[in-house]
Structure 1
């Protein structure tokens, strides 16, 4: 049995299986505005692994504990003002990394989880759902007149873009590396699904859009795939970079020089978080939980569950290509729940 206050930490950048290490880290005393959360489940996202490899060294202060989202139970509060949270399941966000047994965060950022939402679904309700919803509704303000082009669309976040396309009414062109996900993406709400292995993406996007191009694009890959996507956007359009699956950074100065007619920029959910009011922060989650409980969006079921000390196997499972569903880290898990 691992230590009750175990954390996964990295002191240098590199392969997560090599630089991560288990450390025993008892929580510090709580400030009055903080709560202590015993973690139940935390997913492994590409956005968790990419920083460990060093893609964003300028933004990471070492040593660091990874994990941007998860669900847990409030076990201690720093002030009687927050006693109503004791025993509640919450998303402990904007505090410490979630790949540990206990997480400290500010009470105002702990999002209560509805009783009808299971732990594994709740653990995935932040990074992908909030990013997708805020991009569609606030950043791009998409309407039924718009065409959105999304690469790596067979991913969990790609499936959410498809679902929001149906809800909001814009047209989604989903780019995938093979046709295995085409039928599901169409059923979720994609207008067109293009297999990038079957020839020029630009030629097909221009054909579909009668030579106009897409209104906006979402790039999760970087490198040559990002350039291909950018060349499909109409003048005055926008491309948001939300990931770096290829590990190849975008040369922003070169892009802006070669494609001056479109707006290309990185998108960081953190910026929205910093600008969002307390009311907006909570109302966004309330809205997403409402959509979930009314079956207007769905989150994929997890495909693997591992204890923290099984992180080597968990990361290997998470990086298997072509697999559906997230891999979860479960700090307290009995053997009969393994898959």
Structure 2
């Protein structure tokens, strides 16, 4: 039996290099599950590797997609048959932009019926990154002040909600005023629109000249450096993304801003975390979603997996979408 998959053989613009192909479905190995996919969000983190940003660690040809939700169709000899028919996130295995995905049973996350497919499919990259950076890496305490850029993004909306859950104060940075009301409603203490206000001056005004305790950068380049100089000496600067494609000036951040600077890669956390801790972290997020304390992005639009180029066109050309664009296999 064949199934559809999205594949690229060269790095480049997703519109140019992605191909819709058929592939055979192989049975799961001893400790694996085979999952029939239902829905996958399109994230920047899915598209950046296709363009070749991480070409040193991505082998070609490659099937993209880091997250999504589906139904367990088959299990290996060492896996409980009770998993068959269950809805799960099949993570850290094959790329999710295909109809059937295999992964290790220990890295599947069971999803309760209370959470819909489109929310479930977004529960990995952004929520886990936000939760781990706030609770483990920065170890934020009530009333700590956190500064985060690119807050109009999915993860920016999550940081705003976590500020309310964990009790820290969030100063959200955006490049326009489109998300100001949303971010304040979700939990941000203040939103700085850098098209109107000076970042440094506004932060100093809000912190009585002290600077913030920590900053999280998703952009890189000069935007990341500007953020670092708003952190008080010996505070923490963390980079989690590179939306601009340009590295920050690490020498300036360490030597002139005099902050503790680090990079957070989810894949490194994955490597070092125990399976129990991994599952426990998802349990926290499931509880927050069930308790209505964490809301992920709404559905902007849905496209069949084979319409991947049309879907990416919407992601890349929309100045502002109402939510996430999804690839579906219903």
TM-score (norm 2): 0.96
1:40-64 superposed Cα distances (whole Å, 9 cap, x missing partner): 0000001111111122222222221
2:281 counterpart of 1:281: no
What is the SS of the residue equivalent to 2:195? Answer: helix
1:326 alignment partner in structure 2: 324
* Aligned partner (choices 302, 306, 317) of residue 305 of structure 1: 302
**Distance (whole Å) between structure 1 residues aligned to residue 273 and residue 152 of structure 2:** 29
Change (3 A) 1:220 1:284: same
2:67–2:121 CA contact under 8 A, matched in 1: yes
Aligned equivalents of 1:324 and 1:248: distance in 2?
Answer: 27
| Deviation (angstroms), 1:14 | 1.1
- Give the alignment of 1:8-47 within 5 angstroms: 8-47=6-45
- C-alpha separation between the residues in 2 aligned to 1:59 and 1:8? 19
Partner of residue 200 from structure 1, selected from 184, 198, 201: 198
Q: CA deviation at 1:67?
A: 0.7
Deviating beyond 6 angstroms after TM superposition, the runs of 4 or more aligned structure 1 residues are none
In 2, the alpha carbon distance for the partners of 1:207 and 1:253 equals 26
Q: Does 1:51 align with 2:53?
A: no
Instruction: Specify every segment of 5 or more residues in structure 1 that has no aligned partner in the other structure, as ranges.
Output: 333-339
Alignment of 1:246-261 (within 5 A): 246-253=244-251, 255-259=253-257, 261=258
Aligned Cα RMSD in Å? 1.4
Query: 2:311 matched to which residue of 1?
Result: 314
Contact 1:30 1:36 in 2 (8 A): yes
After superposition, give the CA deviation of every residue in 1:212-271 in whole Å (9 maximum; x if it has no partner): 111111111111211111111111112211112222233435543443x11222210111
Q: Distance in 1 between matches of 2:284 and 2:263?
A: 25
Deviations 1:276-309 (A, max 9, x none): 1111111111111111011111112110101111
User: Do 1:221 and 1:244's aligned partners in 2 also have CA atoms closer than 8 Å?
Assistant: yes
1:190 alignment partner, SS class: coil
Map of 1:161-240 to 2, 5 A cutoff?
161-240=159-238
CA deviation digits over 1:13-32, x for unaligned, max 9? 11111111112121333210
Structure 2: tracts of 5 or more residues without a match: none
Rounded Cα–Cα distance in structure 2 between residues aligned with 1:45 and 1:87: 27
Aligned-residue offset at 1:6? 1.1
1:235–1:108 Cα change, 3 Å? same
Distance change (3 Å), C-alpha of 1:4 and 1:25: closer
